[in-house]
A and B are shown apart, each in its own frame.
Chain A
């Protein structure tokens, strides 16, 4: 699908053909990214205070302990905030504007930065229920993005 650039008045489907750059992966995050290639979205939860953390890390910034457990998220949530990026995309994103950058609040309570894809621009709103989809990259990782879903 060819998308016209920079037309604020255009209401159409956005984010259907986004690039999927490979994220940098390190020893702490290799398991997270491996899971994304298997269709699972993980986050970390503290073994001590039980608080969930995003972005996931092998440390609990809530209480300062080093012991956390990787848990699988439901993959469902709602849009906490969003923007349609119409100009100024960088690197691999220099071409595909407009696209949607958003914070999604997962049902587990954490807010994560992501893209909303395959969405009609007119449907975008804070509070919109969304579900995770995974977009394969060229590396050992898939990008967790979200698409509108009906509420249960």
Chain B
């Protein structure tokens, strides 16, 4: 069974704020859900499936279904870190295609600026005693990947910096973006080293916020007045630390990408726009290679060519400014990757970065860490005919 054309994204909403002092996490989930349902022209009473991940407080989908008063026939709380929400869209499409539900709500929300909302890692994890005791940090674990990628392929800090430069060129047009100032390669290289070789400007921002998506059956979509986006293909794969044989130079995208392209029936040349998870600049470079947009090891040269710059680059990416400049709600960037892809396919991105005739878009999520174990999820979406 293929999900191609079996489900549509009918509603999407991104919280406009980056620091949200006067709300709670459950209410923020409800707020972004309200926004996405209103965008679709639906109500909470229409929702029969709910998807959330580790940012949902308490008992996850049970607590949140209770809070929002949902009556459901299907729930899914798959948590593969920041890639969860990209996977959720694929799961929702499969559930809709199987007739399990018709209107699936996916939410992400959190307030990390008010303190840690949840512990991504606890000392009962079997790896904890063998990793965290050595002072792991999120930037440091991605830095281990960057260092090895540079060693094996000659990737440079200047090449990594271009990822941030392209994101900043896009973010200047996003009035909601946390960082709207255009930066140069020199700005990135002269920012403080956080964990060699990654500088501060190689790292994404930390923000409050959230977003939600509503996935519906084609029959429901036909009844709505809002332009929908077709779910064409999906792939997902965890990448492990390989029992002590970890390869730091590739990501799970080598496995999540091919099934997504195959299911969608499209090639790389068909992708008009790509949302690529950008927790760090190295994340983008490795992901682009692993998705097959360039040869392995050539990601640095690929991004340095200006390919990522909208609207005229060969592969315009993260036109909202991405995690590097716009926002990174709850340190989980998969949701916002979907939201900007939907905007592009609807022709609702900022005019300065809107890709002309954007028919096919890719959204890729990464969770966990390039330095240890990670989730990958790839989604291919199409403009409604």
Q: Do A and B come from one complex?
A: yes
Residues of A within 8 A of B (CB): 6, 8, 18-19, 21-25, 29, 33, 43, 51-57, 61-62, 80-90, 92-93, 99, 101-103, 109-115, 126, 143, 145
How many Å lie between the Cα of A109 and that of B246 in the bound state? 11
CB pair A23–B129 under 8 Å, yes or no, is yes
Q: Name B126's closest neighbour in chain A (CB-CB).
A: A57
The interface residues of chain A lying within 8 Å CB-to-CB of B196 are 8, 83-84, 86
CB pair A110–B245 under 8 Å, yes or no, is yes
Q: Name B137's closest neighbour in chain A (CB-CB).
A: A88
- Chain B contributes a number of interface residues (CB within 8 A of A) equal to 36
How many Å lie between the Cα of A91 and that of B87 in the bound state? 32
How many Å lie between the Cα of A32 and that of B50 in the bound state? 43
The interface residues of chain B lying within 8 Å CB-to-CB of A56 are 130
The segment from B10-18, B144-152, B164-172, B376-384 found at the interface with A is B144-152
How many Å lie between the Cα of A67 and that of B244 in the bound state? 18
Contacts A83-B144, A83-B196, A113-B131 known; list 13 others, CB within 8 Å: A22-B133, A55-B130, A57-B126, A81-B147, A81-B248, A87-B194, A88-B195, A93-B135, A101-B134, A101-B144, A103-B144, A115-B134, A126-B148
Given A52-B244, A55-B244, A110-B245, residue A85 in contact with residue B128 (CB < 8 A): no
Closest CB pairs A-B (n = 7)? A110-B244, A54-B244, A23-B129, A83-B143, A55-B130, A93-B135, A8-B193
Q: Name B136's closest neighbour in chain A (CB-CB).
A: A101
Q: How far is the CB of B39 from chain A (nearest CB, A)?
A: 37
Tell me how many residue pairs across A and B have CB atoms closer than 8 Å: 127
Q: How far is the CB of A147 from chain B (nearest CB, A)?
A: 14
Q: How far is the CB of A31 from chain B (nearest CB, A)?
A: 13
Q: B154 near A: Cβ within 8 Å?
A: no
Q: Which of B143, B197, B240, B248 has the most CB of A within 10 A?
A: B143
CB pair A113–B134 under 8 Å, yes or no, is yes
Given A57-B126, A103-B246, residue A143 in contact with residue B193 (CB < 8 A): no
CB pair B195–A112 under 8 Å, yes or no, is no
The interface residues of chain A lying within 8 Å CB-to-CB of B223 are none
